[in-house]
Chain A
Amino acid sequence: MISTSGLTFSYTSTSGVLAKEIRFPDFKVARTESFLLLGESGSGKTTLLHLLGGLLRPQQGAIEMEGIDITKLSDIELDHLRGKQIGFVFQRNHLIAALSVRNNLLMAPFLAGLKQDEHRVDWILNELGLFEKKNAKIYELSQGQAQRVAIARAVINEPALILADEPTSALDDTNCNQVVELLSKVAKENKATLIVATHDHRLKSKLKNQINL
């Protein structure tokens, strides 16, 4: 479902001089598979994730997704792709603090230009045990709760691909387990491919498919 070939990304420093070049190994992930992207800090996990999510463009190589090379898409097409096909979960939950939990979830279909389905919001929140927090402010949530809201937001549009960047590194063991299980579960339920980038060793035993950078 997703495959990369000859992917290269190079950072330039502010003066325009080439600072760092990362070559990524080619890989292929089938639909509904879960993958762990392992590597130390600075190994380019986040960069690869951003490349896969269309937030960055590679200097070389191709990323094929459902038969389309997303590196060839225009900015607007990438925006659409992200909105409809990809769900992101970040290390810090990055919820919009000015909005309630419910409105944070509704932002996803709104920005993707999809129908805003209140029932689905209720259903997902119920599924993640957050229903009573529906109208809560973001600062009223605990770290674990906030991360669950972020996961709910990532899957609400039923994306084909869920990209999680260090989703557990800020969490304790209990929350860590909960979040990983939840991610795997919602990915499976939504028939989505899950790619988790992490250096968190706790996750190694949870997901079998692994790529090392």
Chain B
Amino acid sequence: MSIRLLIWNYLMAKKLNTSLNILLLLLGVAMITLLILFNNQLEEKMTNNTQGIDLVVGAKGSPLQLILCNVFHVDFPTGNIKLREADRLSQHRLVKHAIPLALGDSYQGFRVVGTNHDYAKLYKCEIAMGTWWVNDLDVTLGATVAEISRLKVGDHFESAHGLTKEGHAHEDNKYIVKGILKNSGTILDNLILTNIGSVWKAHETQVVDSSHHKLLISPSHLVPSVEAGDSLLEITSLLIKYKNPIAAIQLPRMINTQTNMQAASPAFEMARLFTLLGVGAEALLGFAYVLIFISGLSIFIALYNSLKERRYDMAIMRSMGANRGLLFKSIILEGSTLTFVGTCLGLILGHIVFGLFIYSMDAGQKTGFSSGVFYREELWILMGSILLGIFCSLLPAIQAFRVNIHKVLAGN
């Protein structure tokens, strides 16, 4: 016999009650765990993907769309901007550096991004296999792209227009895989990188082969293979890093008022998006707390009621030499065991559901979310749950401490 065995027997004697209490807590904790996992990983992705990007400049339209499209690559472009104007902006004294992006095509749902090598450097991404892209129609694949599409170095593929798998295929120009990137945990894992000339070529806007270096009068700063003043060439956007804090005040206003381009700050737009999404998350969190509160209440009521039935047990135990402290301890342990078990199961369930969620979703694997990561908050939840157990069993335990042996045993 031991105090653990005693508690176990008491819990098992009321299996239905015990399971109900555990179930209530489990659901609440699982819900909170899901929110923690989702929020934290989303936030990590956001910060990873927006690092080094102070401002995104693109065609006029929705600023949120501009960010979603050019930073996270989940939305469609707002339109195009003239390379000439982008070039001029990239030379502005408040701009530290600017990276051009040309979007439009995809392969198996993975976006083909025309850019320069600075884009990969921005995310500190390294080559795992093969080389960086050099010529037109050379591509370097992100780690996830390579994994899911099963493309290898040297393979050829055709891109499709848009972001869906069923888009119109550009059959004339086949891309060739030159290299594969290491997994970086950023959006780069899901992208197919190439140079801007390739994107132009796929859309047949430019007959010039940018890989043949001709003598140019004044080459473009963003795309050195073409003339800076070319009035026809267009790109999708420009990712800008400020030179100094003053730029944050002056540059967006200057772009939005003086050019027909639009500037949007990833940090600001994401904060805006989160306040919108936040309402739903808050509601879920609130519901989870209600569940946990109810489970606490239910544990309290269960212990309190069982105490009435157990007054005889307690008096008998006292008559057999148990001191008050032991009874107090056993009730507290019983309550906290319930909450501890419920919380552990809840945390496990939360991770399992998150894992299922990732794998059941078509785009799940592309998100780079992982159910095997544990956060500090989960430790807090575990400790909080033990405190909840102690709190709920405190009053019953005090009553156990005070049980009047004589009165109970004498039956009056």
Contact = CB atoms under 8 A, between A and B. Distances in A.
A15 to B, nearest CB: 16
Interface string A94-117: 111111000100111111110010
Nearest to A97: B13
A23 interface: no
Nearest to B314: A96
B124 interface: no
Contacts of A111: 317, 320-322, 326
12 contacts: A50-B405, A53-B319, A82-B320, A94-B312, A96-B316, A97-B313, A98-B10, A99-B9, A103-B1, A111-B317, A153-B320, A165-B409
Interface string B315-331: 11111111110100000
Interface in A79-96: 79-84, 88, 90, 94-96
A160 B6 CA distance: 27
Contact of A79 (B315, B318, B409): B318
A80 B6 CA distance: 20
B316 A94 contact: yes
B410 A46 contact: yes
Contact of B319 (A80, A82, A116): A82
Interface of B: 1-2, 5-6, 9-10, 12-13, 312-313, 315-324, 326, 405-406, 409-410
Interface residues of A, number: 34
A11 B103 CA distance: 92
B319 to A, nearest CB: 5
Contact of B1 (A79, A82, A116): A116
A96 B9 CA distance: 10
Contacts of B12: 98
A98 B410 CA distance: 22
A110 B9 contact: no
What 3 pairs between A and B have smallest CB-CB spacing? A83-B321, A98-B13, A110-B1
B13 A80 contact: no
Contact of B406 (A55, A75, A113): A55
Contacts of B406: 47, 50, 55-56
A97 B6 CA distance: 11
A76 B321 CA distance: 9
A113 B405 CA distance: 20
Contact of B320 (A50, A88, A103, A116): A88
Given A107-B320, A165-B409, 18 more contacts: A46-B409, A80-B321, A82-B318, A82-B321, A88-B316, A88-B320, A94-B313, A94-B409, A96-B316, A97-B313, A98-B10, A98-B12, A98-B13, A99-B6, A103-B9, A110-B2, A112-B321, A116-B1
Contacts of B313: 94, 96-98
Nearest to A95: B316
